[in-house]
Structure 1
Amino acid sequence: MMWNISAGSSSEGILSSMSQELVPASSSAFPGEFGAIASPRKPVVGKKRLKPHPNIVQVIRAFTSTVPLLPGATVDYPDVLPSTLNPSGIGHSRTLFLVMKNYPYTLRQYLCERSPSPRLATMMLLQLLEGVDHLVRHGVAHRDLKSDNILVEIDSAGFPGLVITDFGCCLADEKIGLKLPFSSWYVDRGGNSCLMAPEVVTATPGPGVVIDYTKSDAWAVGAIAYEIFGTGNPFYGRAGVALESRSYRDEELPPVPEVAPPEVKKLVGRLLRRDPAMRLSARVAANVLHLGLWGEDLLSQKELRLNKMVGWLLHQSAATLLVDRLGGESSVETRLKRCFLANLDYQELCEAAALLCAWRSMAL
């Protein structure tokens, strides 16, 4: 149930005001009943729709209905209730409801209760990068990535599976893609100012000014990596470090915890570069982690040759297909490999391999 403060009580008004929440919803999410606000033949005008992805939450159904008085509502969220339920409430009587899978944790809750091993933490970081890469490929910027907006479930092998949720601040416009005209301070730049990428938070409005969000979510993933590997997010002013995305220098970034693999430490620094031109894309960063996790035989070669690369990719493909066929429902690890193979670009893979080899040579 979404909070409805300013959308009015008509389905049309709710649809217009909260359309960003429907970006991860497929056309089948609108069944044409129970107060549904749209139909498969009438998508939200101008808004992109995401194809399903294992690291993006899926909205199964969406509809509008009357706000109910749920147990504890008058204590937990009295101000957003409609006046019919709370005389001093400022909410409207009707709102948007999204039906999704139930996840036991947010990422913040999960990390408060558990300390994942370095390998599991690396796969968690990789899942966020795969999810962000999917957004970028579809011209969508989340713009509010934080550990509270990432959900976690545990698969049968004990691996944490992550999905990105809460698209209320996203940029998903068919006309402008990832480049937002910034003509005045009234233009919405997104939420969570602490984890707003430098090129976004320092932008000054004016004629012809455009904010490019292509690598902004990847920057936020780099900041969240500190939390995943067991320390405070430096942009929240925790762990004795207080950085601001508006003014920090690259050399001021604190070291990633020692438990993290060497390639992760290098990777986080490259994700958090102030200059987006020097920052890694989510795809190349994801490829680095894929190679680090499963490409040791390939990286041990003195020279990366095409035939060796192709041989390794064929091996990965065959192994992934076999696990899929024999193992029933895919594990987190298998889904990650499928994402990697589905989005394979030879140049991006070579860029990641060259980076990883260079970093390892520097460490020798």
Structure 2
Amino acid sequence: MTGKHRENLPEWAREASLGIFIHWGAYAVPAWAEPEHIAGEAEPEGGWFKHSSYAEWYANTIRIDGSPAASYHAEVYGSAPYEDFLDQWRAENYDPAAWARLFSALGADYVVPVTKHHDGVTLWDAPGSKGWNTVDRGPKRDLLGPLAEAVRAEGMRFGVYYSGGLDWSITDFPPIRDAEDLFHRYRPNDAAYAAYATAHVRDLIDRYAPSVLWNDIEWPEAGKEDGSLAELIAHYRDAVPDGIVNDRWGADVWDYRTSEYSMAAEHETGIGWEHNRGLGSSFGYNHVEDESLTLSPRALAKHYADVVSRGGRLLLNVGPDASGRIPEVQLRTLTGVAEWMSSIKPYTADRSFPEVAVSAEADNWCRTWVSGDRLVVVADRPEDVKVTAPGYETVAIALPA
């Protein structure tokens, strides 16, 4: 199975620079994780998984003895099982059209919601998922179809995330405590699970024709060995000829590389790679994250400019609360950067890096890229940046205050 070279992405993906990730699930009910630890940075004592800042990993973290999440769960929910959160998740304020308008105002090129995370809950009536999906329980409806329609109505592309590597609803493994557990010991790899996951992703392809097929934590080994993964990807290529496939399958089927927070930074080379992260240190909504733990509009603008200047796309995560509202602390950043994004989005990098000379003083943060016949300069003080770029018009854009 051979993936296309990442520089041969379809035109829309080469031109795209901003995607919106959406992590929304039953984990939005407890909405809790330790917020202090950034993924890929120095591990806390006891390890990352015991102190995970990812609220979407709540079902795993509360099973680790001595974890703060386990203590929090016992204090707030007693011995209630994670399954209870699925029934408490109502999505009563879910407004996909409002979400889509917000993302469009940011200049997003594509939107990728989680369709099934590691807890196994599917956000549509996936084949074989009876009793463990949002149509049968909780919200009592397909959450994906209306979002796909709303996103496309605003002129953006629609993609899907699927956790092919983990599904805690169909396994009885111990909790994941380290990377060996994650990738080797406690990942379902049997033929039955491979068939189950394959049926899900095929259904997503046939129902929603996603422009992005985003898998996570590899793919069950049986599906790699029996050829069903190759057949699935071939089906996707036929169904969505200009669709793109990420690199987290544990097989050479990908179109582009990904990085996450401070992890896999070695993938941030060349052009067409994608960096994904949340507005805080979690993807799923974490009610502990306040303004001090959330990217400011200025910090988000810098992060976006840095990624684009190095040839990548930013896949920025939004984590709605259990009702379907985007939390105020996240909205503050998104609406606060929207005007700045509208000023910069016409100048998408064309992914070429001609010979130009740009210099800025050490205290003047600066990034540059070429957009057509323009050299884009983003800086604290763009007027103080020295540019030598024969044949290019300079577009100077200051970072938001």
Relative contact order (alpha carbons < 8 A, sep ≥ 6): 1 or 2 greater? 2
TM-score by length of 1: 0.31
More helix by share: 1
TM-score by length of 2: 0.29
